[in-house]
């Protein structure tokens, strides 16, 4: 079945034909999205059998690439024992221990199913812990699609130019003075420690340290949304890489090994405000799902220092892209900003290279991407720029 036929059917039964707006490709001038059939390593194959080097990687989770054999094996073995129980399992404890050991500020963690849920609950917890309602966040940031986070958000909200209602005192990223003006009385400051939803924007020197200081001075909680950066730019995420510790951390993507799992965590005394230990309610039928914990554990246990050295080495090779536009990279996440991004997207796609259909989304490296794939991307971008 061709993508056009699938898309026509999809449009009849799924709003806009996609289950997440960022998958639509109209913003880059394509009539229909890519319908994926299978993936292997750095490669994605579409429903018509075309193969692409995949720099999207399901928007970040696949640090070992598609259909990583060990992850698949772990999930299949777990599935044979039952796909969900709704009662605690050993692997949930193991995954929580793995996260606590890896992420410097996290002493306790709760497992949920999506980054949206994790961020939404971290905000609820911060509000309960401080007894304050307002909070501070940054324009172009994205923390999932819960109501409070939508106005001036990044990712698909920005790509589609949607202006939704939202809450929070929204200030420009990397602008500490703006934060200082609005932080008084806020429950928390919610921040992507490396912005990844308006393209990659690294934190300015002193920005994260400044947020920590302002939060300490005003009794405000600092929340790092590390859904993208967690286990990607270091095993312990941005907080390890930059040495600034938040009060609460939101995790997603890599932590679930490519299955629906996310988490939020922090100091024990804060986390124990959650029910049933405390009075802040949060729940989930599929929370800590056995297939997802199997995938997450399989991945996290293999994320050794050597993996990050390898990703950094490959990242440095990717830095050659800086010759063709503004290039930003922190570890295994990167963005190339060019004037006519839709044209670049189509140029690359025609050459079997799939990058995100919006400049607001980052490019992701996996261990499955080799020099061949990296050099092919650089050559194709050079050809585009010539
Ligand atoms: N926070 C950040 C920083 C994200 O990038 C995303 C998703 N890209 C989310 C939260 C929401 O996660 P999910 O899509 O799993 O709900």
Q: pLDDT tens digit string along 52-97?
A: 999 999 999 999 999 999 999 999 999 999 999 999 999 999 999 9
Largest CA distance in the chain: 61
Domain final residue pick, 270, 300, 330: 300
> Residue 214 pLDDT more than 90?
yes
Does residue 106 sit in the same domain as residue 204? yes
Q: Which ligand 1 atom sits closest to the C-alpha of 59?
A: 8
Catalytic annotation on 142?
yes
Q: Is 143 in the pocket of ligand 1 (CB under 6 A)?
A: yes
Q: Which of 300, 331, 355 is the last residue of a domain?
A: 300
pTM, two decimals, is: 0.98
Query: Are 347 and 210 found together in one domain?
Result: no
Residues 280 and 350: their CA atoms lie apart, in Å, by 50
Residues 267 and 336 in one domain: no
Same-domain check for residues 117 and 222: yes
Q: Do 166 and 213 belong to one domain?
A: yes
Which of 277, 300, 323 is at the close of a domain?
300
In the structure encoding, which two tokens stand for residue 368, read together? Answer: 């499955």
- pLDDT tens digit string along 256-315? 999 999 999 999 999 999 999 999 999 999 999 999 999 999 999 999 999 999 999 999
Question: Per DSSP, what are the bridge partners of residue 39?
Answer: 44
Q: Single out the catalytic residue among 7, 43, 52, 142.
A: 142
């699609």: which residue's tokens? 145
> How many angstroms separate the CA atoms of 374 and 382, rounded?
12
- 130 with 14, same domain? no
**Cα 196 to Cα 60, 85, 111, 143, 172, distances in angstroms:** 10, 35, 22, 11, 14
Catalytic hit among 173, 225, 314, 354? 225
Ligand 1 atom index nearest CA of 20? 14
For the question of residue 253 being annotated catalytic, the response is: yes
Q: What would the pLDDT profile of 311-347 be if each residue is shown by its tens digit? A: 999 999 999 999 999 999 999 999 999 999 999 999 9
Question: What's the domain range around 26?
Answer: 3-63+305-385
Backbone φ and ψ of 38, nearest 5°:
-160, 165
Q: Is 144 in the pocket of ligand 1 (CB under 6 A)?
A: yes
Split into its structural domains, the chain has a count of 2
Closest CA to 301 of 40, 68, 87, 105: 68
Per-residue pLDDT band at 2 (split at 50, 70, 90): confident
115 CA from centroid of ligand 1 (Å): 5
Q: Is the pLDDT of residue 9 over 90?
A: yes
Residue-wise burial string across 8-31, b where 16 or more C-beta atoms lie within 10 A, e elsewhere: eebeeeeeebbeebbbbbebbebe
Q: Are residues 197 and 222 in the same domain?
A: yes
Which of 113, 116, 150, 286 gets mutated to test ligand 1 (max ligand atoms within 8 A of its CB)?
116
Q: 116-168, pLDDT tens digit by residue?
A: 999 999 999 999 999 999 999 999 999 999 999 999 999 999 999 998 888 99
Q: What is the mean pLDDT of the chain?
A: 97
225 among known catalytic residues: yes
Nearest C-alpha to atom 10 of ligand 1 is from which residue? 143
Residues 328 and 225 in one domain: no
> In terms of domains, do 188 and 280 share one?
yes
DSSP single-letter state for residue 19: S
pLDDT at 165: 84
Residues 379 and 295 occupy one common structural domain: no
> Does residue 116 have its Cβ closer than 6 Å to ligand 1?
yes
Residue 3 reports pLDDT greater than 90: no
If asked whether residues 151 and 282 sit together in one domain, one would say: yes
- Find the CATH number of the domain harbouring 15: 3.90.1150.10
E runs forming strands in 150-276: 169-171, 188-191, 221-225, 248-251, 262-266
**Following CA atoms 331, 332, 337, 338 in sequence, which dihedral angle do they give, to the nearest 10 degrees?**
130
Q: Specify the CATH number for the domain of residue 163.
A: 3.40.640.10
227 lines ligand 1 (CB under 6 A): yes
């Amino acid at each position: 079945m061709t993508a056009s036929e699938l898309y026509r059917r999809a449009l009849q039964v799924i709003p806009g034909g996609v289950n997440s707006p960022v998958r639509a490709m109209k913003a880059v001038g394509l009539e229909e999205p890519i319908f994926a059939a299978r993936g292997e390593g750095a490669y994605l194959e579409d429903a018509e059998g075309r193969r692409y080097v995949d720099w999207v990687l399901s928007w970040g989770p696949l640090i070992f690439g598609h259909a990583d054999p060990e992850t698949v094996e772990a999930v299949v073995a777990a599935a044979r024992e039952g796909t969900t129980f709704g009662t605690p399992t050993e692997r949930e404890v193991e995954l929580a221990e793995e996260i606590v050991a890896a992420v410097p500020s996290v002493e306790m963690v709760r497992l949920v199913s999506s980054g949206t849920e994790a961020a939404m609950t971290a905000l609820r917890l911060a509000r309960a812990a401080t007894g304050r309602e307002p909070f501070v966040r940054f324009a172009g940031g994205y923390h999932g699609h819960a109501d409070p986070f939508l106005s001036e958000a990044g990712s698909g909200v920005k790509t589609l130019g949607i202006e939704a209602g939202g809450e929070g005192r929204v200030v420009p990223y990397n602008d500490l003075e703006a934060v200082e003006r609005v932080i008084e009385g806020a429950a928390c400051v919610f921040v992507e420690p490396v912005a990844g939803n308006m393209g990659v924007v690294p934190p300015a020197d002193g920005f994260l340290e400044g947020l920590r200081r302002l939060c300490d001075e005003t009794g405000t909680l600092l929340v790092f949304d590390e859904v993208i950066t967690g286990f990607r730019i270091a095993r312990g995420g941005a907080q390890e890489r930059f040495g600034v510790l938040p009060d609460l951390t939101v995790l997603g993507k890599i932590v679930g090994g490519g299955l629906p799992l996310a988490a939020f965590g922090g100091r024990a005394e804060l986390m124990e405000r959650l029910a049933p230990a405390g009075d802040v309610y949060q729940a989930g039928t599929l929370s800590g799902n056995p297939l997802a914990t199997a995938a997450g554990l399989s991945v996290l246990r293999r994320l050794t220092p050597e993996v990050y050295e390898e990703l950094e080495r490959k990242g440095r090779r990717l830095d050659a892209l800086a010759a063709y536009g503004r290039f930003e990279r922190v570890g295994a996440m990167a963005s190339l900003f060019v004037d006519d991004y839709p044209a670049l997207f189509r140029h690359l796609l025609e050459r079997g290279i799939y990058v995100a259909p919006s400049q607001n989304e980052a490019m992701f490296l996996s261990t499955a991407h080799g020099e061949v794939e990296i050099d092919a991307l650089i050559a194709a971008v050079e050809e585009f720029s010539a």
